[in-house]
Amino acid sequence: MPSKPKTNLDTFPNPNPGRDYLIHMQIPEFTCLCPITGQPDFATITLDYVADRRCVELKSLKLYIWSYRNRGAFHEAVTNKVLDDLVRAIAPRFMRVKARFFVRGGIFTTVVAEHRKRAWKPVPLIALPLDEEASSTGD
């Protein structure tokens, strides 16, 4: 039976809840509709989070993202909605959703929304040399 889009997100227990570690995902095939013209908008969504007790399950995230394909949404609204839904599902220590929309009318739009758990303090970052993957993705 083929998969269908869905609006709920499945989760699983964080396998290392005692440690802050970054989970980084790139979703290059996000689509929604312009709420004014009905034309498709395309974006790459980058999701970075530090889990607390729960992590988001990848297939459910894929089906959740797919649910936007036929929905009208302004760039700012959809980015914040994705963040709100993910925070509600997994209550992370930190989460950033970055949506880089492709050009429309000669304008590229990037929207970044963040959540920080109250009283969470990130551990200081240790500077390491860039690895090949990081330098090839442009991040």
pLDDT digits (tens, 9 = 90+) for 46-60: 999 999 999 999 999
For the cut 70, the answer to whether the pLDDT of residue 132 exceeds it is: no
Under 8 Å between Cβ of 63 and 115: no
Least confident stretch, 18-27, 55-64, 93-102, 124-133:
124-133
Q: How far apart are CA 81 and CA 72, in angstroms?
A: 13
Torsion of CA 132, 136, 138, 139, to 10 degrees: -40
Which pLDDT score, from 0 to 100, does residue 126 have?
A: 79
Active site positions, annotated: 34, 41
Mean pLDDT for all residues in the chain: 91
Query: What is the reported pTM?
Result: 0.86
Domains of the chain, CATH where assigned:
11-117 (3.30.1130.10)
Residue where the block lists tokens 């929207």 = 111
